[in-house]
């Protein structure tokens, strides 16, 4: 509801916002001031919607691409909330990148490679049996095939040729998933491939910048103490396929 309409609200109203949602706090304060009914503004300590805030910050960095031929390509599932915000801001179509990392057998969060529907990129596979990689590739492609059927049930994939393609994820550790995605995108002959992420280690950002498949990398944070993407989100619940759709 727009602020000019809030004085028409007569029912008691409770506004709830996280303490660290800086942008949203300001909007809620304006709404609170505009309301004439019984109202309360509740600020939850240390709570945040960081996906939204990071999405807003990424969108701001990507504003130079507004009004150009752009496609936002979000990596499911964490990249979709961010991608949605960026797509709305740039008024660009949103699509999904069907790729997923291969986790190390003893530490699934550590990516030793990544798989798309028809490509595979491997990084550090020392001591990892070939049979494990083959089994994981098969398993992951079954997941990707299921997602493909879900995401494209009522729509067609975006044509990426001659477009500026902005690949978005919620953060990267090794960058393998982004790399295989960029390689997949480059095969469709886009005008430019941009990677936009909230957080990543400096070494991974450098490796993306050196990639022949990526033209530009935008990263909001490159902390020295990086261990995992989740450590930089107060709440890092996995996004379900249903929520992503």
Q: What is the pLDDT of residues 76-92, one digit of tens each?
A: 877 888 888 899 899 99
Residue 43's contacts (CB-CB under 8 Å, 6 or more residues apart) are 17, 18, 19, 25
| Residue 214: φ, ψ to 5° | -125, 130
**CA–CA distance, 132 with 150 (Å, rounded to integer):** 27
Looking at the structure, do residues 23 and 135 belong to the same domain, yes or no?
no
Structural domain including 148 reads 50-244
Looking at the structure, do residues 13 and 95 belong to the same domain, yes or no?
no
Residue 242 has pLDDT above 50, yes or no: no
Looking at the structure, do residues 109 and 191 belong to the same domain, yes or no?
yes
Residue 184 Cα distances to 4, 28, 68, 69, 230, angstroms: 47, 42, 22, 19, 26
Residue 108 has pLDDT above 80, yes or no: yes
pLDDT in tens, 8-27: 888 888 888 766 555 567 77
**What is the overall mean pLDDT for the chain?**
83
Looking at the structure, do residues 80 and 23 belong to the same domain, yes or no?
no
Looking at the structure, do residues 19 and 104 belong to the same domain, yes or no?
no
Looking at the structure, do residues 221 and 184 belong to the same domain, yes or no?
yes
Q: Which residues pair with 74 in a beta bridge?
A: 96, 168
Looking at the structure, do residues 128 and 211 belong to the same domain, yes or no?
yes
- pLDDT bin (cut points 50, 70, 90) of residue 215 is very high
- pLDDT score of 22: 56
Number of domains in the chain: 2
By percentage, how much of the chain surpasses pLDDT 70?
84
Looking at the structure, do residues 78 and 117 belong to the same domain, yes or no?
yes
Q: Residue 240, SS3?
A: coil
Distance of CA 88 to the CA centre of its chain: 14
Residue 54 has pLDDT above 80, yes or no: no
Which of 188, 195, 168 has its CA nearest to residue 97? Answer: 168
**CA–CA distance, 118 with 113 (Å, rounded to integer):** 14
Rounded average pLDDT over 39-46: 78
Looking at the structure, do residues 231 and 191 belong to the same domain, yes or no?
yes
Of the listed ranges 24-38, 85-99, 156-170, the one predicted with least confidence: 24-38
Looking at the structure, do residues 102 and 64 belong to the same domain, yes or no?
yes
Looking at the structure, do residues 10 and 77 belong to the same domain, yes or no?
no
- pLDDT bin (cut points 50, 70, 90) of residue 243 is very low
Looking at the structure, do residues 34 and 105 belong to the same domain, yes or no?
no
- pLDDT score of 231: 44
Q: Which residues pair with 197 in a beta bridge?
A: 219
């Amino acid at each position: 509801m727009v602020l000019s309409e809030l004085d028409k609200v007569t029912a008691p109203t409770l506004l709830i916002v996280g303490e660290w949602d800086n942008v949203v706090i300001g909007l809620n304060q304006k709404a609170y001031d505009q309301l004439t009914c019984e109202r309360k503004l509740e600020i939850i300590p240390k709570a945040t919607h960081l996906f939204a805030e990071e999405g807003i910050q990424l969108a701001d960095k990507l504003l130079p691409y507004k009004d150009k031929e752009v496609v936002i390509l979000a990596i499911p599932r964490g990249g979709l909330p961010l991608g949605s915000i960026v797509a709305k801001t740039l008024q660009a179509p949103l699509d999904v990148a069907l790729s997923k990392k291969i986790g190390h057998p003893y530490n699934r969060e550590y990516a030793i490679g990544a798989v798309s529907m028809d490509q595979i990129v491997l990084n550090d596979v020392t001591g990892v049996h070939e049979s494990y990689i083959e089994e994981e590739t098969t398993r992951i492609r079954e997941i990707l095939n299921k997602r493909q059927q879900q995401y494209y049930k009522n729509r067609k994939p975006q044509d990426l040729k001659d477009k500026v393609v902005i690949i978005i994820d919620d953060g990267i550790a090794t960058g393998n998933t982004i790399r295989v995605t960029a390689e997949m995108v480059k095969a469709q002959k886009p005008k430019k491939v941009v990677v936009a992420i909230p957080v990543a280690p400096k070494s991974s950002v450098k490796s993306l910048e050196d990639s022949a498949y990526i033209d530009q990398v935008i990263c909001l944070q490159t902390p020295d103490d990086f261990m995992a993407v989740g450590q930089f989100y107060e709440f890092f619940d996995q996004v379900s396929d249903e929520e992503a759709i």
